[in-house]
Amino acid sequence: MSKAIIFTEPGGPEVLRLADLPDPQAGPGEVRVRVRAAGVQPFDVAVVEGWVPPNADPSWPRIPGNEYAGVIDQVGEGVTGFAVGDEVLGFGLMNAYREHVAVPADHVTAKPAAMPWEVAGGFTAAAQTAHIALEEMRVGAGDTVLVHGAAGAVGGVAVQLARLWGATTVIGAAREAQHDYLRSLGAVPLAYGDGFADRVRALAPGGVDTALDGVGGAVLDVTMELVKDPARVITLVDHGRAADLGARTTPPKRSAARLAELADLYAQGKLAFHVRETFPLERAADAQRSYSAGGIRGKIVLTVD
């Protein structure tokens, strides 16, 4: 038996509770990971409120969490390239707020020795989302890129990758308190709110080539006015309206190879990843409360002793 955070009805963070569940077993092609850290995502908050993601098991009880890092403690039949004791980080669909997860072996990659557990646990989803989005936006040399939600988990990685891929200017939209942080990542910070479009035009008189929208609604509407080619706008939020506006969403292209490339950038010191706060697994409800309070810089992560 081992610890898991479960909920048996939709609601706010108060429905989350600690339970002892039978350990999952690594089936063919799977590894079992003894989790040391797991990230808290906006996705998880929606799941606890009752949203069932496509392809997720809708039965009760449910366990939130799509990203984790830990030590392999069981290797399923047919798995090559991993052994008990390997330190890994990885992705999945639900079930990561727990002490043990059994996942397909191609959903994990080696954790760099220099990557702390709390970074590894919260790294996967945001880093891969940013990477996939920028690939779809065709960010490259000379581009002027606009990133909304730039101080958030996805936005912080997107800013840095855009610079690494040759963007000349990356405008990062965030509240004033985050501006020094954004400068440290290589962005030109810009406050969101009234007059935003005019401030962008003043900063980028030649126009914005491509944009990542991590906010949606009115922010997406303004973005469509600012970017010449609508197909170079990616929204992470407003999926329902994207097609009508000519904007795009991120395709499901997470992979261990992509994650390994990003982990390697971290290990080389080329990609910073900020963890704002950690909570022990038992306090998952407090972690979600803290997330929902806003003012997020980087990531909130659960740790499992």
Ligand X SMILES: NC(=O)c1ccc[n+]([C@@H]2O[C@H](COP(=O)([O-])OP(=O)(O)OC[C@H]3O[C@@H](n4cnc5c(N)ncnc54)[C@H](OP(=O)(O)O)[C@@H]3O)[C@@H](O)[C@H]2O)c1
Helix/strand/coil for 7:
strand
Is 215 a residue that touches ligand X (CB under 6 A)? yes
**Bridge partner list, 109:** 89
Judged by beta carbon, residue 32 or residue 248, the one nearer ligand X is: 248
CB of 300 to ligand X, least distance (A): 8
Rule CB under 6 A: choose which of 69, 96, 174, 247 binds ligand X: 174
Chain residue at closest Cβ approach to ligand X = 152
Rule CB under 6 A: choose which of 70, 76, 155, 189 binds ligand X: 155
Rule CB under 6 A: choose which of 4, 152, 275, 285 binds ligand X: 152
Judged by beta carbon, residue 13 or residue 152, the one nearer ligand X is: 152
Q: What is the rounded CA–CA span in Å between residue 234 and residue 134?
A: 8
Number of residues that bind ligand X (CB under 6 A): 25
Rule CB under 6 A: choose which of 43, 117, 266, 273 binds ligand X: 43
The two beta strands, 87-91 and 67-75, are antiparallel
CB of 22 to ligand X, least distance (A): 29
Contact yes or no for 214/155 (Cβ under 8 A): yes
Judged by beta carbon, residue 38 or residue 236, the one nearer ligand X is: 236
Rule CB under 6 A: choose which of 153, 287, 301, 302 binds ligand X: 153
Which one-letter DSSP state was computed for residue 22?
P
- For 181-184, which contacts have Cβ atoms below 8 Å and span 24 or more sequence positions? 181/151, 181/274, 181/297, 182/150, 182/151, 184/272
Which one-letter DSSP state was computed for residue 93?
S
Site for ligand X in 235-254 (CB under 6 A): 236-237
Is 287 a residue that touches ligand X (CB under 6 A)? no
Q: Where are the alpha helices (DSSP H) in the chain?
A: 42-48, 117-137, 153-164, 179-185, 196-203, 218-226, 239-245, 256-267, 284-292
Q: What is the rounded CA–CA span in Å between residue 203 and residue 230?
A: 20
Which residue's entry shows tokens 């709110």? Answer: 193
Judged by beta carbon, residue 75 or residue 213, the one nearer ligand X is: 213
CB of 187 to ligand X, least distance (A): 12
Is 175 a residue that touches ligand X (CB under 6 A)? yes
Which one-letter DSSP state was computed for residue 232?
G
Show the binding pattern over residues 180-209: x = contacts ligand X (CB under 6 A), - = does not: ------------x-----------------
Would you tell me which residues interact with ligand X (CB under 6 A)? Answer: 41-43, 125-126, 129, 148-149, 151-155, 173-175, 192, 214-215, 219, 236-237, 294-296
